[in-house]
A = this chain, B = another copy of it.
Amino acid sequence: MTTEPGSRAPLAPGGTIGILGGGQLGRMLGMAAARLGLKAHIYSDEPDAPAFQVVSARTLADYGDTRALDAFADSCDVVTFEFENVPAATVAALAGRTPIFPGAHALAITQDRFDEKQFIAGLGLKTAPFTAVDCIGDAEKAFARGQAPAILKTRRLGYDGKGQAKVSNARDAVAAFRAFGQAPGILEGFVDFAFEASVVAARARDGYFAAYDPPENFHADGILRRSTVPSRLSAAQCEEAGNIARRIAEALDYVGVFAVELFVGRDGALLVNEIAPRVHNSGHWTLEACVTSQFEQHIRAVAGWLLGDPSRHSDAVMENLIGDEAADWQRLAAGGGALHLYGKSEIRPGRKMGHITRLTGPRADLI
């Protein structure tokens, strides 16, 4: 059953996938592994991690606990993760003992917004204009280039709009830089986009690539609220989005599912906003609208299986349940969609508590 590091043999049913992180993504990955007859071992530093509820093998330990990491690695045939901010030292500790997908290189690049943007621009793909802000002088000078309004972001550890501030002039930029504790940052020119979209795609160990139909995404307060398929993207734009994802995956020698968030310009241009090296909230609708969900696809990829069919059989709208929206579960459960609640012990403002996917009809071009 064991897959040696570097082995190309697929992991047989009964094998164990280690998952770093115990949130809703780890939970849905664990259930997808189970459906394929694979076991999941969840590693989390949170005692009430939602993913612990759906697996039989659990490690509750700090991400820096090398003894726990060693034991975890030794109990798994392959390791993956549900969040991109895994410390590099954690990845290094695991990688010496077990295969880990996606690898340290993809993580390192996507953990740093500036490195990520440089990588994307280096592929010839479009992004918002950006510049590094490493000191107060950078924050002042950034506006000399006429980038106003803009968004100052910390280079590392941001998510769901955290570590981001809209700034309109040099004084704002300096204030925001100070508010973020003078952490290295990136100033991104504000893009006046028509709408947001994303591509969720997978690359297998054998290099095979498969993209899902790109959803249109609506955010509020930096948090994804709704994903809709089909989007307003044209067929040509959908193909372009898939090609963007493929170029990124190949350049990173990526294995697993990832998402590329896109701004769709009013001129139709697709600008890459960011890369998430993991299953993604904007792909949750694949659970109901595709034969192979993004979670199963990721498990297939990291287990060395062939990818499944990503085609969409239905149109769908996925809505997140944020904070106390989940308290309304009785009404939501009666509403005809597929309700997912993540088993979180406490409702907190801004916390993703669940989602609901409504199938809105058979996919038009299949009819």
Contact = CB atoms under 8 A, between A and B. Distances in A.
Contacts of A292: 338
9 contacts: A13-B341, A27-B34, A37-B341, A53-B56, A54-B56, A288-B291, A291-B359, A306-B330, A314-B362
Taken together, the copies of this chain in the complex come to 2
Contact of A313 (B308, B333, B359): B359
A54 B40 CA distance: 9
Interface string A295-338: 00000100001101100011000000000001001100110111
Contacts of A363: 362
Contact of A329 (B27, B37, B309, B343): B37
Interface string A209-228: 00000000000000000000
Interface in A16-62: 27, 30-31, 34-37, 39, 52-56, 58
A234 interface: no
Interface of A: 10, 12-14, 27, 30-31, 34-37, 39, 52-56, 58, 288, 291-292, 300, 305-306, 308-309, 313-314, 326, 329-330, 333-334, 336-343, 345, 354, 359, 361-363, 366-367
Given A53-B55, A300-B333, A14 B291 contact: no
Interface of A is mostly: mixed
A330 B333 CA distance: 37
Contacts of A326: 13
A333 B306 contact: yes
A54 B34 contact: yes
A354 B55 CA distance: 19
Nearest to A306: B334
A52 B55 CA distance: 8
Given A37-B354, A53-B39, A336-B291, A14 B367 contact: no
Given A292-B338, A308-B333, 16 more contacts: A13-B341, A31-B34, A34-B54, A35-B339, A37-B329, A37-B341, A39-B343, A54-B54, A54-B56, A55-B56, A291-B337, A313-B359, A313-B362, A314-B314, A362-B367, A367-B367
